[in-house]
Amino acid sequence: MIVPNARNITEDEYFFGHKACAGCGGSLAVRIALKVLGERAVAVLPAGCMSAVGFNFPQLCFGNNAMISTFAGTASMMTGVEAGLRARGISDFQIVGFAGDGGTADIGIQALSGAIDRNDDIIYICYDNEAYMNTGTQKSSLTPFGASTTTTPVTGRVKGNTHEKKNMFEIVAAHGIPYAATASIGYLEDYMRKVRKASEIRGTKYIHVLAPCPTGWGVDSDETIDLARAAVDCGLWPLAEYENGVFHINREIKDLDGIRSYVRGQKRFRHLKDSDLEHIEKMRDLRWEGINKTWIKN
């Protein structure tokens, strides 16, 4: 496998002229994945930021074949596209889905589970900005503990989201999927490598890429990459792969104390007290205890 990097990635653009906000992590995740996959990729996108900013007739922003799916139907529509192209005798294509956290972990999880169960030959990419950003920052099941959203506001009694972030990576892995990975747009070369790897494996592939949203997170538009990197470095977003029944951790925590600096800069967390941060740290440490015990380091 040629490892894609800044020097050898294609100059062809397949997602341009869209209306995403400045500093949008999701649009970077889509743009880079399509650069890796190339012109034979068919993109399927449900309701969400990327379909909202990319498909406004007559300004259609995908350079390759692309379609909006129903919100719940990303994976099932990909199944149909894949079967249809195969029935037409066409080969050498990639079906790639780009769904947000709500479209994946909430409304779309049934169809995703079904596709993995059938082992349909598709790449499903969840770009995770940790809330329903297109709708105006409401809580999804991938919103982290403590984050304030418009549906988990900071009020007198409740301080933001009281639930933990759903562990989609391990839920997907529990299906026995051929390949699953986590990624971050803060580590683009790792993300590109995983997209390329997914394109070379048959069956269902799942990549969960952390894609910060300056608008929803309450940060400056030039902070996206740094935050996406910091989330990995402080251990809140482990970079990992699941393959042949085994979990691999790709990167160990670089900055064990980094939670505070990661959290403090974001408006969505600004109400958190020291006790909340201690809770977040405790949950992170528990997770890493499990990772260190059973996952392979590479």
Query: Which one, of 30, 228, 20, 220, lies nearest residue 127 by Cα?
Result: 30
Distance CA 20, CA 194 (A): 24
Q: Which is nearer to other proteins, 40 or 297 (CB)?
A: 40
Q: Which tokens belong to 202? A: 């048959």
* Nearest distance, CB of residue 272 and other proteins, angstroms: 37
* Nearest distance, CB of residue 232 and other proteins, angstroms: 33
CA 200 to chain centre: 20
Q: Do residues 258 and 234 make contact, with C-beta atoms less than 8 angstroms apart?
A: yes
The alpha carbon torsion through 112, 22, 6, 51 (nearest 10 deg) reads 30
* Nearest distance, CB of residue 49 and other proteins, angstroms: 13
* Nearest distance, CB of residue 46 and other proteins, angstroms: 10
* Nearest distance, CB of residue 112 and other proteins, angstroms: 10
* Nearest distance, CB of residue 120 and other proteins, angstroms: 8
Q: Which tokens belong to 119? A: 């082992």
Q: Which is nearer to other proteins, 14 or 217 (CB)?
A: 14
Residues whose CB is less than 8 angstroms from the CB of residue 55 and which lie 6 or more positions away in sequence, other chains included? 45, 61, 62, 66, 68
* Nearest distance, CB of residue 45 and other proteins, angstroms: 9
Q: Do residues 115 and 83 make contact, with C-beta atoms less than 8 angstroms apart?
A: no
* Nearest distance, CB of residue 133 and other proteins, angstroms: 17
Distance CA 263, CA 231 (A): 9
Q: Which is nearer to other proteins, 10 or 261 (CB)?
A: 10
Residues whose CB is less than 8 angstroms from the CB of residue 268 and which lie 6 or more positions away in sequence, other chains included? 147, 148, 149, 160, 216, 217, 218
3-state helix, strand, coil in the chain (%, to 5): 40, 20, 45
Q: What is the DSSP string of 12-61?
A: --SB-S--PPTT-HHHHHHHHHHHHH-TTEEEEE-SSHHHHHHEETTEE-
Q: Which is nearer to other proteins, 76 or 182 (CB)?
A: 76
Q: Which is nearer to other proteins, 21 or 291 (CB)?
A: 21
Q: Which is nearer to other proteins, 120 or 241 (CB)?
A: 120
By CB under 8 A, name the binding residues for other proteins: 39-40, 42, 44, 51-52, 55-58, 60-70, 72-73, 75-88, 90, 93, 110-111, 113-114, 117-118
Q: Which is nearer to other proteins, 116 or 231 (CB)?
A: 116
Q: Which is nearer to other proteins, 44 or 259 (CB)?
A: 44
Q: Which helix H or strand E contains 201, and what residues bound it?
A: none
